[in-house]
Amino acid sequence: MISIQNLTKFYDDVCAVDSMSLEIPEGQILGLLGPNGAGKSTTLRILTGYLPPTKGTIYVDGFDVRNKTKEAKTLIGYLPESSPIYPDMLVYDYLEYIADIRGLGKSQKEQRLKELSDLCGIRDVMHKTVSSLSKGYKQRVGLALAMMSDPKILVLDEPTSGLDPNQIAEIRSIIKEIGKEKTIIFSTHILSEAEATCDRVVIVNKGKIAADGSMDELKSTAQAGHMIKLSLRDADQNDARAIFSEIDGVDDVNCEVNGNQLDFKLSSSRDLRAELYLTVKNRDWILLELQQEKKSLENVFKILTSEEK
């Protein structure tokens, strides 16, 4: 559906996207993740025909964005970052304007406006000016605009930034709902969001693809190691530390005294929970807590984006 080929973009001397290649099949929800300035927005802007690429190109359903721009744009619905819609227009007028540009017929237009106002929950604000809307409503209007012509591809640049948790949940459910039939590409820097909505995640860093795959695949590729949290009572700090250090596979022991409780953090290359339990049992220490920390998304993200490449 979308084929990004060797895409490079320079802003004067600054390289925003560095020979990126990516194939996105039809019907996929793809999350573009990355730190600020990684080149997410730039990639989306080139895809939507707003910026010309310096080198390489993107094919949208076979149309080259460099010279078949109009054909490519017809297939894409785009919501730019922070939804910059004309502030002085009424929401209804705006929707109608976009419907006209998208070439919807008169009866078709009315029906589509009804559908969208229900889907995006903007029925109550149709008669208000855009400037009087809250950020969440503005974002929803932006989403309705992007979906006006029922495009095959939906491109959303940080659709949930600046929204409250309820609104985020709503936008996410809308994305999931429409993602059943459409190809959706959205950028975000909220990791849990990507995990909740995406079929596939691409992490970009410094204009290059740092990782590509489903969320589970990404987690297993990033070697975050095991981290075990352990809380004990009635134990001697030095004694315990020495004993734990001797267990095979323990790389590092960290201890904090917390009242009469000792909090340990052990890092290891394998799962040590069983051995730790037996050790503690033998010593008659009181075990308050034993927990293996999950490899968090934040860790995966950190590892993939902080590596010097």
Binding footprint of another protein on the chain (CB under 8 A): 11, 45, 48-52, 70, 73-74, 76, 78, 80-82, 84-89, 93, 97-98, 100-102, 145
User: What DSSP character marks residue 132?
Assistant: G
Min CB(142)–another protein separation in Å: 8
What is the distance between the alpha carbons of residues 203 and 250, in angstroms, rounded to a whole number?
31
Min CB(102)–another protein separation in Å: 7
Min CB(146)–another protein separation in Å: 9
Q: Which CB sits closer to another protein, 162 or 225? A: 162
Contacts of residue 146, defined as CB under 8 A and 6 or more positions apart, other chains included, come to: 77, 78, 79, 154, 155, 156
Its sign, for the CA torsion 130, 133, 139, 140, is negative
Q: How many helices (H) and strands (E) does the chain have?
A: 11, 14
Q: Which CB sits closer to another protein, 135 or 241? A: 135
Min CB(204)–another protein separation in Å: 20
Q: Which CB sits closer to another protein, 12 or 284? A: 12
DSSP string, 176-218: HHHTTTSEEEEEES-HHHHHHH-SEEEEEETTEEEEEE-HHHH
φ, ψ of residue 65 to 5 degrees: the values are: -65, -15
Q: Which CB sits closer to another protein, 5 or 54? A: 54
Contacts of residue 26, defined as CB under 8 A and 6 or more positions apart, other chains included, come to: 1, 152, 183
Min CB(92)–another protein separation in Å: 13
